[in-house]
């Protein structure tokens, strides 16, 4: 297996300290803090470990503090309810004695019911599209070291944007984009691992959808962005080692916050997950120190 993908899987494999207490390590992906998707993925796997014969259908999370990737994170799971059809869990991620993240997740016994879904947008498939690293490669010498590390640390997944990316001088355009993604190697069949990886990857590039109408260039050093919350609804089974389309849009940005939404489709058009995230977006007149 690809070494970086195996490293990510190892970080999602939590140490169980007690029945409802888990510990996870962090990956340095080139950002100044723990990647929010990592905490989402680890928290969801911790919650899944305490539930039997039920699958998660939704989670709602808040990012409270920046995480330190040099220290472990402890996940405390509270078993709120186990009913006949649904189970509810609350997870608190703790680091240096303080909560940095909270999440509520709901699980359901599989059952049949009415079905409908939105239609996948008509976009080119992943075959023939350039990987995101290709766009960055042509501008590598002009990008700051911090951004280069962030862009080149994504190798556990392959990302292929439908729309071209300009990191140096982005043009203003409508707040919608699509990107294909999948793990770079075949994954084990463990369903909890695929759920954790979906939570992990769903935090990539979602918030930046809110910046598209404003043509913000992050390398200029005058933009601050951070995830504030994250919600995800899981509709159908999926595999992260097969191509998935992330269709993202942003209906509003106001009050130094942007709201972005995402729909995840399989290549044959099946909607498997929906995502929403609000994030902090601050723009200063002058660049600030990193």
Q: What are the catalytic residues?
A: 203, 227, 277
What's the chain look like in SS3? Answer: CCHHHHHHHHHHCCEEEECCEEEECCCCCCCCCCCHHHHHHHHHHHHHHCCCCCEEEEEEEEECCCCCCCCCEEEEEEEEEECCCEEEEEEEEEECCEEEEEEEEEEECCCCCCCCCCCCCCCCCCCCCCCHHHHHHCCHHHCCHHHHHHHCCCCCEEEEECCCCCCCCCCCCCCEEEEEEEECCCCCCCHHHHHHHHHHHCCCCCHHHHHHHHCCCHHHCCEEEEEEEEEEEECCCCCCCCCEEEEEEEEEEECCEEEEEEEEEECCCCEEEEEEEEEEEEECCCCCCC
């Amino acid at each position: 297996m690809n070494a970086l993908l195996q490293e990510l899987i190892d970080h999602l494999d939590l140490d169980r300290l007690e029945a409802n207490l888990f510990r996870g390590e962090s990956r340095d992906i080139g950002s100044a803090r723990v990647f929010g998707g990592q905490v989402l993925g680890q928290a969801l796997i911790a919650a899944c470990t305490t539930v039997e014969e039920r699958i998660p259908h939704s989670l709602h999370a808040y990012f409270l503090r920046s995480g330190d990737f040099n220290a472990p994170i402890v996940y405390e799971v509270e078993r709120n309810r186990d009913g006949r059809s649904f189970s509810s869990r609350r997870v608190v991620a703790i680091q240096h004695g303080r909560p940095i993240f909270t999440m509520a997740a709901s699980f359901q016994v599989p059952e049949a019911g009415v079905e409908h879904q939105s239609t996948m947008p008509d976009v080119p498939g992943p075959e023939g599209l350039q990987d995101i690293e290709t766009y960055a490669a042509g501008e590598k010498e002009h990008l700051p070291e911090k951004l280069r590390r962030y862009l080149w640390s994504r190798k556990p997944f392959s990302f292929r944007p439908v729309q071209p990316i300009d990191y140096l001088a982005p043009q203003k355009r409508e707040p919608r984009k699509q990107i294909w993604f999948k793990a770079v190697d075949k994954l084990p069949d463990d369903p909890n691992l695929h759920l954790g990886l979906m939570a992990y990857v769903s935090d990539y590039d979602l918030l930046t959808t809110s910046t598209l109408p404003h043509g913000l260039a992050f390398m200029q050093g005058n933009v601050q962005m951070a995830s504030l919350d994250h919600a995800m609804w899981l509709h159908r089974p999926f595999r992260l080692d097969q191509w998935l389309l992330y269709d993202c849009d942003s209906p509003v940005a106001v009050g130094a916050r942007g709201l972005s939404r995402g729909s995840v489709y399989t290549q044959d058009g099946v909607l498997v997950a929906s995502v929403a995230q609000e994030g902090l977006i601050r723009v200063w007149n002058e660049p600030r120190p990193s």
